[in-house]
Chain A
Amino acid sequence: MDRAPGPALAVAGLTVRYGARTALHRLSLDVPRGQFVALVGPNGSGKTTLLRAVLGFVAPAEGSVAVFGRPTGALSALQRAREVAWVPQDESPRDDVRLSDYVLYGRYPYHGPLDAETAVDRAIAEQVLRDVGLDDRAQDGILALSGGERQRAVLARALAQTTPLLLLDEPTSHLDIAHQLDLFARVRGLARDRSVTVVAAIHDLNLAGRFADRLIVLSRGQLFADGTPAEVLSRDLLARVWGISADLRRDPHTGVPYLIPQRLLTAAAAAPGERGGGPVHVVGGGGSASPYLRALADEGYRVTCGAIPLLDSDAETADALSLPTALELPFAPLGPEARARHRALLAEARAIVVGPFPVGPSNLANLEDLEPYAGRVPILLVRYPPIGERDFAAGRAAAAYERLRAGGAREVGSVEEALTALRALGTGALPTTASGAPSAALGSEG
């Protein structure tokens, strides 16, 4: 087909207003041909408005939208329908039209009022029904299709327009997880095989990250972030744009980040590290520190962690929360490098939380390295389970614990209690200046 050069989609300085409300504000972005772009952002962030502007449903107040180098405002509905097809969030047909006829509706832009459907149209309709896996249902009425099948039928109708640009607006919001995967896998495949450019508004960030080449994050009508899923997805983004706390992990098969939403952040803590002062250090191991790591991160503290072996579940939590961590190799005693790193993190800390980790000869140093800070930096010792039950170092752990307590460390019984104690310490006033002391202690340590 004869098309002017230019990106599949070019948005320049686009502002869209609904009455007094600005839905999009000076948005600019280009989508090159063949890309699968996921448009993400909270409800009301402007995803749907952007798609509607591309389709010409809303007129820009400022700026322009062009598909394949042609401004959409200058295209007639027919011309546009040969360039852009649309899969809406919820297309609910009223009449029980036969599926094969329904898909042929997508051939509308290629015919005059008196033309009959041609063999080419029917071949295209059969092809797209095969593409969406509904070729065996062609003679059924669309009302007889299940929700998942119906959404694939809508996709087929849009594909029958044989456009080089396909827009999808939350196409899977009513579908179960299997149908979500299925639909996106099909769209992904079509984008690759037919070099169709896809722009899809997607709520599910894991699906978006899994299938899209690129994430465009909108927030309050503006571009917030733009890049590959690995570049864009971060705890910071989730906190700032969605106001949630989430663990971020890496899919071991694909290397793509995926997230496990944890909870809604309070407005005060909507951004990690927002609280002033130095970091709070958490000493952990064996998964004992994970609840504290998450709670502190969610409260907006900068958090560090150590010293723990790789593959420990605390290490995974710290990684998911993107925390600076002193790590040792799995199943190895803490070596000089890990301890040095741990001491460096301790030296930065304005407060230290000691998780209820099992203490053996290999990680006894975690307790012993704390001793120089007792009385200088607030230390919170988690009391349960009691140290006696998790002392696997022949009483040396209990002795170290006792020395810390005697030196001024406080005991806390729960995450909540620890948070309350930290809040009571206030910000700013904490002694981050204690850094001189540990280095002196380092030298004396033997």
Chain B
Amino acid sequence: MAPPREASRFLDWVSYALLGAIGFALVGILSPLLGSVLIPPRDVFQILLHQLSGGALFPQPCAGTGTSARLCGAYGTILWQIVVPQILLALVVGAALGISGGALQGIFRNPLADPFLLGISSGGTIGAALIYVYQFEIVRADVYLPLFAFLGSITTGLVILGIARGRFSSVETLLLAGVALANLLSAILSLILLYNPAGSVQVTFWLLGGLGLATWSIDGIAFGAVLVIGTLLALHGRELNLIQLGNDVAQSAGVDARSVRLRVILLASMATAVAVAFTGIIGFVGLVSPHIVRRIARPDYRVVLPGAAIVGAVFLLAARDVSYLAFPGSVLPLGIFTAFAGVPFFLYLLYRQRRSTTMGGL
């Protein structure tokens, strides 16, 4: 019944390549066309090619399109200073959320684990809420907001790690502790907002996630951090594969399960903290991306971790695109669209899996 190994692997790779091509088409063609300001497509491509080639191509962008030079300059600024950084930030943050979701699902052996369930991101929101609510005089949102959010997330991650280091903590107690912590943090946040109604709109908006902070320098910081953290996480694929068989089995096969657990939780917390710092709370990417990889490709964490990063990146960018397609010119929180785009697809995957299981395997 099983197809020959080489043929099935080849088909696998063809389908991955197709998916990749779709992803890159979204990035390369669709995304720059969409934004809070609608720019004619020809201008978009000319401006982008001009910028990318360092001025060699289309030395005079918008020349043949009927757009005035002044407007073209404005378009150029919007594209190069706002749209492109937002696209890149979406990719970086999506990758961070995807890989940290995959790693946490692996370490907790629980398909529902994601950075939000454990309260890592709730910690970030408290950090951010403190800034908005108390209107610190020195506020420079683009510096202090990410900083406070990062600190809030990483503190929460460290608290979870502290619990994880405890001698008798099983994976289950750790997960429960994380969930309890997340609830506690939500309660604290509600309390802060309740007594500071002035700041609550801003905080709520930020809570729902967005790419509004994106600049080239923020992209650079985020990219560097996510590249390092993601690479380190992706190196834990073999350990996570064995941990799926149980911590004892992993241990007997040579995995130092406890130290792997600490490392992975720390790294996943850091990746989440970076994401939360720059884009607020964007749900569902961390949950759904690893599942997509597991179902479409295979449940091998050497594939799931990098795969979830790629899927997460494309998914978040697609959610951004969908938000502009659905409501052109408006800036709606991204978290809403990740849920709108992700839930139906996720349910479809579950349905397909169920059907194929009852029919005796793929």
A105-B252 contact in complex given A88-B246, A98-B298, C-beta closer than 8 Å: no
Q: Taking the complex as formed, is A114 at the interface, i.e. its CB lies under 8 A from any CB of chain B?
A: yes
Chain B residues contacting A111 (CB-CB under 8 Å) are: 238
Contact of A93 among B5, B245, B255 (CB under 8 A): B245
Interface contact B252-A55, CB-CB below 8 Å: yes
Give bound CA distance, A52 to B248, whole Å: 9
Give bound CA distance, A105 to B249, whole Å: 11
Interface contact B298-A57, CB-CB below 8 Å: no
Give bound CA distance, A114 to B235, whole Å: 7
Closest A residue, CB atoms, query B237: A113
Chain A nearest CB: distance from B86 CB in Å?
34
| Residue in B2, B236, B254 whose Cβ sees the most chain A Cβ within 10 Å | B254
Interface contact A105-B253, CB-CB below 8 Å: yes
A88-B249 contact in complex given A77-B255, A105-B241, A108-B238, C-beta closer than 8 Å: yes
Chain B residues contacting A56 (CB-CB under 8 Å) are: 251
Chain B residues contacting A109 (CB-CB under 8 Å) are: 253-254
Chain A nearest CB: distance from B303 CB in Å?
10
Interface contact A80-B361, CB-CB below 8 Å: no
Give A374-414 as 1s and 0s: 1 = Cβ < 8 Å from B's Cβ atoms: 00000000000000000000000000000000000000000
Closest A residue, CB atoms, query B299: A95
Give bound CA distance, A85 to B251, whole Å: 10
A144-B361 contact in complex given A57-B251, A97-B299, C-beta closer than 8 Å: yes
Across the A-B interface, how many residue pairs have beta carbons closer than 8 Å? 78
Residues facing A in B210-264 (CB within 8 A) are 235-236, 238, 241-242, 244-246, 248-249, 251-257
Which range contains the number of B residues in contact with the other chain? 20 to 34
Chain B nearest CB: distance from A199 CB in Å?
13
| Residue in A80, A108, A143, A144 whose Cβ sees the most chain B Cβ within 10 Å | A108
Give bound CA distance, A143 to B235, whole Å: 26
Chain B residues contacting A141 (CB-CB under 8 Å) are: 361
Q: Taking the complex as formed, is B50 at the interface, i.e. its CB lies under 8 A from any CB of chain A?
A: no
Contact of A81 among B236, B254, B299, B300 (CB under 8 A): B254
Give A65-95 as 1s and 0s: 1 = Cβ < 8 Å from B's Cβ atoms: 0000000000011101110111010010111
Some 16 contacts from A to B, beta carbons below 8 A apart, are A55-B251, A77-B257, A80-B252, A80-B254, A81-B253, A85-B252, A86-B249, A88-B252, A91-B246, A93-B244, A95-B299, A97-B298, A105-B245, A105-B253, A106-B253, A158-B252
On B, residues with C-beta under 8 Å from A are 2, 5, 8, 109, 235-236, 238, 241-242, 244-246, 248-249, 251-257, 294, 298-300, 361
4 additional contacts (CB under 8 A) given A88-B249, A91-B245, A111-B238:
A57-B251, A82-B254, A105-B238, A113-B236
